[in-house]
Structure 1
Amino acid sequence: MQSLALIFFLFGFLVAGVLGTETRLLFFWPGAALLGLAGLLATLKWRLRVVFPPSEGCLAAASLFAGYIAARCFVSPVAGYAREDLYILAGAWVTYMLTVTAASHPRWRTALLAVLLVLVLGNLAMGFIHLSGHWEYHVVPSFMRAATVGRIGGFFANPNHLGAFFTMVLFLTGGFLCFGRGGAALKMCLGFLCVSMMLGVALTASRGALMGLAAGGVIFFLMSLGIVWQTQRQFFWSLASGGLVVALLGGAVLWKVNEEYLKGREMTSPMANDVRLEIWKAALAQHAQSPLIGTGSRMFYEGSIQYRSTELSGSAGEALFAHNEYLQMLADYGWVGLGLLVLVLLTHLWNGVAFLRWFVTHRFLQTGRVLSNNLALCLGALTAVIAMMVHAFFEFQFHVAIPALTAALLLGLLANPGIEATEKRGAKLPSVRLLSKLLLTGASGLLLSGPWLHGRSDYHLARAEIAQVQGVDFERLQHLNAAVDADPSNAEAHYQRGLALLDKLTADQRSPEHPVLKRATVDLEQAVALNRFHYLYALALADAYDAVGRYEEALHQIQHAIALAPLHEESRMALAVHWHRLGDFVQAEQAYLWAGEAPAWNEEGTSRWIDNYRLLLQHAALMRAAPPQP
């Protein structure tokens, strides 16, 4: 059963690596189900064969962190947002626990590295497709990647996340290349893949990934030299000089590959004036609302709108993420979440360094061999974690499934790097193993139930979006009905169905007694009840209330939307349209002019305040020209 669990684990990781490459859960569900099945089989086995004992300090820190994040997800104000963090956390916990326990044998760890390299090859192949000019190509039919022309994305929607994935796998592969066992052919292949991943990071043009790559490269070089100094001192100077030359040449190649694009980005968006600086202000403003435990899982979706900086360009889109995992943790989970995250990182890094020290002072003296797969993977995981910590200052890669799962795998390697029980006994902590297994049971159950409870609704919602783009209104409404039926707690499904029903109505049909309008109003009320922080939900409900003559309630929803999005043209313009409908042209004009001063504009091609203001002027002119009523 243990071997079967590991087979499902490897397959689930592979599927998640191909599909779980967005911040939404839509494509993660197949991989989640397979990971849940792997975790369930491991739980049924309960007593897993573990080759090396894991660090109970690492297990304790990881269990505390996972338990807190899960608890915060369950009590967050918007369940739909919280489940995105919750299910990625569940997948990461299954990955972590199986890496620490059942996959502690070197054979299975080699298989994990092989799966990662298969994903690397797949991402490189996708990168070639993007470079050929098909920048929007997506691996799933009928879907398009939100492309950034000139930057490859692989399976990922965001090139920065591909850079993060390549960086983590690169150092793991580099460790195996330098210190792992294997013949010349294997080492040549690994060397080729390392060079390919470095070029891939360069072609993503992710400055954060390049910084992480540079930081990890320095640490990898210094740690490798430290191991050589302790074990093979006669080769130290030749390897140090040769490694330095290779590092300089590699840096020069990476610079030349990306020189023009990076110079262009620096000219148009210099690091000193990067838009992230304004986004970080919004994250800190949200954090100030609840410093200790944060405002809730992924609540920066709304915090980025409510606390938007006035220094941002009016045409800049919504940030949605803090573009800094540490600030996002502060905003969503508070000081408790950030403190536990730091504890997890420090305990695992310390355990990895302890293994390197044990290897050079004990294991090497016994065997006389420096080549070891455990040493290779531990060194690679250490440097990969440091690289991802640096990159996390500039991105939100761990809100995407496969980078989060890869990070969990790296931490699992550090939690159980391969210290033999007869040589070094770690501290025993009561109930840690029981707690971690109970969390594994819960995570597995979540991953297995999620596709049925929420995945079907996500699927129908995506199909409805495609139907809307294609202009097939009947099919759109059918899928929206199926999405609501599959998951009544899906606020977005209620909102989209409410909009679709409103779109069907003509001006003459917008009467208080019309059944379609009543049904649309109920849907929008449900959407607002499920997520009272989304200003567009409130504005849509206000539109429905105006149509049915519930004007006071409509005004209340508009005022609520203005509080949620105080800088946005859309919320201000809704107030103007409300007064316009009621015939109060004085207040309507004031609101239209106020909307014209909004620091955050509506997108080009959508309704703008000036268009509605012109309509108001036309209506006023017609009223003046009309003969007086007797």
Structure 2
Amino acid sequence: MQTVSLIFLLLGLLIAGVLGTETRLLFFWPGAAVLGLAGLVATLKWRLRVLFPPSDLCLGAVCLFTAYIAVRAGMSPVAAYAREDLFVLAAAWVAYILTVTAASHPRWRLAVFGVLLLLVVGNLAVGFVHLSGNWQFHVVPHFIRTATEGRIGGFFANPNHLGAFFSMVIFLAAGFLCFGRGGAALKMCLGFLIVSMMIGVALTASRGALTGLATGAVIFSLLALGVVWQTQRHLFWSLLGGGLVVGVLGGAVLWKVNEEYLRGREITSPMANDVRLEIWEAALAQHAQSPWIGAGSRMFYDGSVQFRSEGLPAYAGDALFAHNEYLQMLADYGWVGLGLMTLVVLTHAWNGVSFLSWFARHRFLQTGRILSNNLALCLGALAALTAMLVHAAFEFQFHVAIPSLTLAVLLGLLANPGFEGSERRAMRLPPVRFMSKILLGLASLLLLAGPWLYGRGDYHLARAQIAESQKDFFEASQQLNAAVEADPANAEARYERGQTLLEKLNASQRSPTHPVLKRATEDLEVAVKLNPHHYLYALALADAYDAQGRHDEALVQLRRAVTLAPLHEESRMALAVHWHRMGQFEKAEAAYLWAGEAKAMNEEGTSRWIDNYRLLLQHVTLMRESPPLVRP
């Protein structure tokens, strides 16, 4: 059963690596189900064969962090948002526990490493397709990649996340290249993949990934040289000089090869005009509302709208993510979440560094061999963790499934790097191991239930969006009905169906008793109840109320929308349209002019305040020019 569990783990990592590359769960569900099977089989086995003893301190820190995030997700205001973090967390927990326990044997660790390398090859192949000019290529039929042209993405929608994935695997490969066992052919292949990944990171043009890569390279070099100093001191100076030469020459070559590409990136998106500072300001503003436990899982989706900085360009879209995992953690989970995350990082980094010291002072003296797969993976994991900590200050890669799973594997390698013998006795915390198994079972059941409970709804909602883009409105309507039926608690599906029904109605059908209008209103009321923080839901419901003559209730929703999106033209203009419909032209004019001062404007080509304001002026002019009614 343990072997079956590990096979499922490898298969789940592979599927999630190809499909789980977006912040949404739509394509992650197949990988989640397979990882759920892996965890369930391991739970049923209960007593797993572990080759090396794991660190109970590391297990305890991750248990606390996982339990807190899960509980906070369950208490979050919007269930549909919370499930995104919850399922990624559950999958990462399964990958972490199996890496720490069942996959502690070097053979299985090499198999996990092999899956990551296989994903690297796949990402490079798809990146080559993008580089050839087909920038919108997506591995899933009927879907397109929406990222900006000029930056490769591999399986990922966001090039920055491909850079994050490469940055993690690069150092595992570098550790194995320098300290792992294997023949010349294997080392040559690893060297080729390392260079290819470095070029791939440059072609993503992700400045955060490049910064993390450089920092990780420094840490890797220091740790590697430290091991050599303690074990093969006579080679230290030669390796140091050769390493400096290779590093300088390699860096110069990579820079020259990608100089034009990176300069183009700087021209199109200069760092001096980076909007991250304004986004971070919004994250801190949301954090201030609930500093200790945060606003809830992924509540920055709506917080980025409500607390939008006035310094953002007027036509910049809403951020949705903080583009800084630490500030995102503060906004969504508060100081408690950030503190527990810090505890996880520190315990695992300390355990990894302790292994390097133990290997140099004890293991090497016993065997006289410096080549060790455990040493290679531990050293690579420490450097990769450093690269990720730096990159996380500029991105949100851990809200995507496969980077989170890869990080879980790295932490698993550090929690159980391969201590053996009696030279080091680890602290035992018996309740931690029992709780780890209980959480493994719960996470596995959740992953197995998710595709049926929520995955079907996500599938039908995506099919509806495709049909709508293809102007097949009947198919879109059918798919929206199926999405609501499969997942009645999905506010987005309710909103999409209600909005679609509203748009179908012509002026004569917008009567209070029309059945389609009633159905649309019911859907939108449910959407607002499920997610009272989304301003577009409130605007749509206000439109439905106005059509039914429930103008006071419409005004309440409009004022809520203005509160939720105070800088947005859309919410202000909707208020103006309401007064316009009511014939209160002075209030309508004031609201239109207020919409013209908005700091977040609608996109060009969509409904704009100036067009509606001109319509208002035409109505007023016609009323003034029309002759007064003469009473008989």
Tell me the TM-score normalized by structure 1. Answer: 0.99
List per-residue Cα deviations over 1:264-287 (Å, max 9, x = no partner). Answer: 443454434421011000000000
Pair 1:213-2:232 in alignment: no
**Other structure's SS at 2:212 match:** helix
Match of 1:457 in 2: 457
Supply the distance in 2 between the matched residues of 1:326 and 1:133 (Cα, whole angstroms). 35
* 2:293 is aligned with 1:293: yes
Secondary structure class of the residue paired with 1:431: helix
User: C-alpha distance in 1, partners of 2:21/2:146?
Assistant: 12
Q: Which residue of 1 aligns with 2:365?
A: 365
Residue 5 of structure 2 corresponds to 5
Q: Give 1:39's aligned residue.
A: 39
Structure-2 residue corresponding to 1:402: 402
Matched-pair contact (CA < 8 Å) for 1:151–1:159: yes
For 2:542, the equivalent position in structure 1 comes to: 542
In structure 2, the residue matched to 1:554 is: 554
CA–CA distance in 2 between the matches of 1:170 and 1:133?
Answer: 26
What amino acid maps onto 1:341 in structure 2? M
Structure-to-structure mapping, 1:482-501, within 5 angstroms: 482-501=482-501
Question: Hey, what's the Cα distance between the residues in 1 that align with 2:590 and 2:250?
Answer: 61
- Post-superposition Cα deviations, 1:79-114, rounded to whole Å, max 9, x if no partner, equal 010000000000000000000000000000000000
Distance 1:63 1:273 in 2: 41
Partner of 2:509: helix, strand, or coil? coil
Q: What's the CA shift for 1:253?
A: 2.4
1:137-148 equivalences in 2 (<5 Å): 137-148=137-148
Asked whether 1:623 is paired with 2:604, we answer no
Whole-angstrom distance in 2 between the partners of 1:259 and 1:292: 45
| Partner SS, residue 6 of structure 1 | helix
Q: What is the number of residues matched between the two proteins?
A: 630
Structure 1 residue matching 2:294: 3-state secondary structure: coil
SS where residue 507 of structure 2 aligns?
coil
Q: CA deviation at 1:147?
A: 2.3
| Structure 1 stretches lacking a partner, 5+ long | none
1:180 paired residue number: 180
Letter in 1 for 2:466: I
What does 1:313-352 align with in structure 2 at a 5 Å threshold?
Answer: 313-352=313-352
Task: State how far apart, in whole Å, the 1-side matches of 2:268 and 2:519 are.
Answer: 48
Task: Look up the match of 1:229.
Answer: 229
Taking a change above 3 Å as real, the CA distance of residues 95 and 253 of structure 1, as seen in their structure-2 partners, is same
The superposition leaves residues 262-321 of structure 1 with CA deviations (integer Å, 9 ceiling, x where unpaired) of 334434544344210110000000000000000100000011111111011001011000
**Residue 21 of structure 1: aligned partner:** 21
Relative to structure 1, the CA distance from residue 468 to residue 146 in structure 2 (aligned partners, 3 Å threshold; closer, same or farther) is: same
Cross-structure match for 1:530: 530
SS in 1 for 2:451: helix
Query: Does structure 2 retain, via aligned residues, the 8 Å contact 1:205–1:258?
Result: no
Q: How far is the alpha carbon of 1:421 from its aligned partner? A: 4.8
Query: Alpha-carbon deviations, 1:169-203, whole Å to 9, x = none?
Result: 00001100100000000000000000000000000
Return structure 1 stretches of 4+ with deviation > 6 angstroms. Answer: none
Shift of 1:27: 0.3
Which segments of 5 or more consecutive residues in structure 2 lack a partner in the other structure?
none
State the 1:614 CA deviation.
1.0
- Taking the aligned partners of 2:43 and 2:423, their CA distance within structure 1 comes to 29
Q: Quote the Cα distance in structure 2 between the aligned partners of 1:253 and 1:32.
A: 41
Q: Is the 8 A contact 1:8 1:37 kept in 2?
A: yes
Cα separation, 1, equivalents of 2:40 and 2:620: 68
Higher mean C-alpha displacement, 553-562 vs 417-426? 417-426
Alignment of 1:117 with 2:117, yes or no, is yes
Amino acid in the other structure paired with 2:452: W
CA distance, structure 1, for counterparts of residue 302 and residue 491 of structure 2: 14
**1:565-618 deviation line (CA, Å, top 9, x unaligned):** 000000000000000111111111110010011010001211000111111111
Structure 2: distance between partners of 1:58 and 1:353: 13
**2:77 aligns to what SS in structure 1?**
coil
Deviates more, 1:271-280 or 1:404-413: 271-280
What does 1:572-583 correspond to in 2, within 5 Å? 572-583=572-583
- Percent identity between the two aligned chains: 75
Name the SS for the 2:430 alignment partner: coil
* Aligned-partner SS, 1:77: coil
Deviation (angstroms), 1:255 = 1.7
**Corresponding residue for 2:95?**
95
Q: Distance in 2 between matches of 1:196 and 1:464?
A: 39
- In 1, Cα distance between the equivalents of 2:218 and 2:101? 31
Partner of 2:609: 609
Residue identity matched to 1:176: F
Conserved? CA contact 2:203–2:261, under 8 Å: no
Work out whether residues 139 and 155 of structure 2, in 8 Å CA contact, stay in contact via their aligned partners in 1. Answer: yes
> Distance in 1 between the 2:588 and 2:282 partners?
30
Q: Indicate conservation of the 8 Å contact 1:203/1:257, yes or no.
A: no
Q: Where do 1:78-89 residues align within 5 Å?
A: 78-89=78-89
Equivalent residue letter for 2:251: G
Please give the per-residue CA displacement for 1:515-546, whole angstroms capped at 9, x wherever unaligned: 00000000000000000000000000000000
Whether 1:420 and 2:420 are equivalent positions in the alignment is yes
Residues in 2 aligned to 1:306 and 1:627: alpha-carbon distance in whole angstroms: 47
- Rounded to whole Å, the distance in 2 between the matches of 1:402 and 1:583 is 54
1:422 deviates by: 3.3
d(CA) in 1 for partners of 2:615 and 2:256? 55
SS of the aligned residue for 1:319 comes to coil
2:474 matched to which residue of 1?
474
Letter in 1 for 2:380: G
For the 8 Å contact 2:40–2:444, the answer to whether it is kept is yes
**Deviation, structure 1 residue 256:** 1.9
Q: Which residue of 1 aligns with 2:570?
A: 570
Once the two structures are overlaid, the 10-residue window that deviates more, 613-622 or 333-342, is 613-622
Query: What is the alpha-carbon distance in structure 1 between the residues aligned to residue 629 and residue 551 of structure 2?
Result: 26
Could you tell me how far 1:208 is from its partner in structure 2? 0.2
- Mapped contact 1:53–1:421 kept (Cα < 8 A): no
Q: 1:248 and 2:228 equivalent?
A: no
For 2:551, the aligned partner's letter is Y
Matches of residues 370-449 of structure 1 in structure 2 within 5 Å?
A: 370-449=370-449
What is the match of residue 305 of structure 2? 305
State the alpha-carbon separation in 1 of the partners of residues 421 and 563 from structure 2. Answer: 59
- SS class of match (1:508): helix
Name the CA distance, whole Å, in 2 between partners of 1:629 and 1:436: 81
Matched with 1:74 is 74
Show CA shifts across 1:222-269 (max 9, x none). 111111111111211111111111111221123223323433443454
| 2:258 corresponds to | 258
Distance 1:91 1:625 in 2: 68
Counterpart residue number, 1:202: 202
Equivalents in 2 of 1:186, 1:323: separation in Å? 37
Alignment partners' CA distance in 2, 1:329 and 1:464:
33
Q: Which amino acid aligns with 2:578?
A: H
* Aligned residues of 1:21 and 1:157 also touching (Cα < 8 A): yes
Question: Equivalents in 1 of 2:441, 2:129: separation in Å?
Answer: 40
SS of aligned partner of 2:289: coil
Match of 1:106 in 2: 106
1:254 and 1:149 map into 2 onto residues whose CA distance is 22
Contact 1:52–1:421 (Cα < 8 Å) also in 2: no
Take 1:305 and 1:538, find their aligned partners in 2: how far apart are those partners? 14
Give the aligned residue type for 1:604: E
In 1: Cα distance, 2:32 partner to 2:539 partner: 35
Contact 2:374 2:418 in 1 (8 A): yes
Contact preservation (8 Å) 2:26, 2:459: yes
Answer yes or no: is the 8 Å Cα contact 1:137–1:145 preserved in 2: yes
Residue identity matched to 1:592: Y
Amino acid at match of 2:629: Q
Give me the TM-score of the superposition, normalised by structure 2.
0.99
1:424 deviation in Å?
1.9
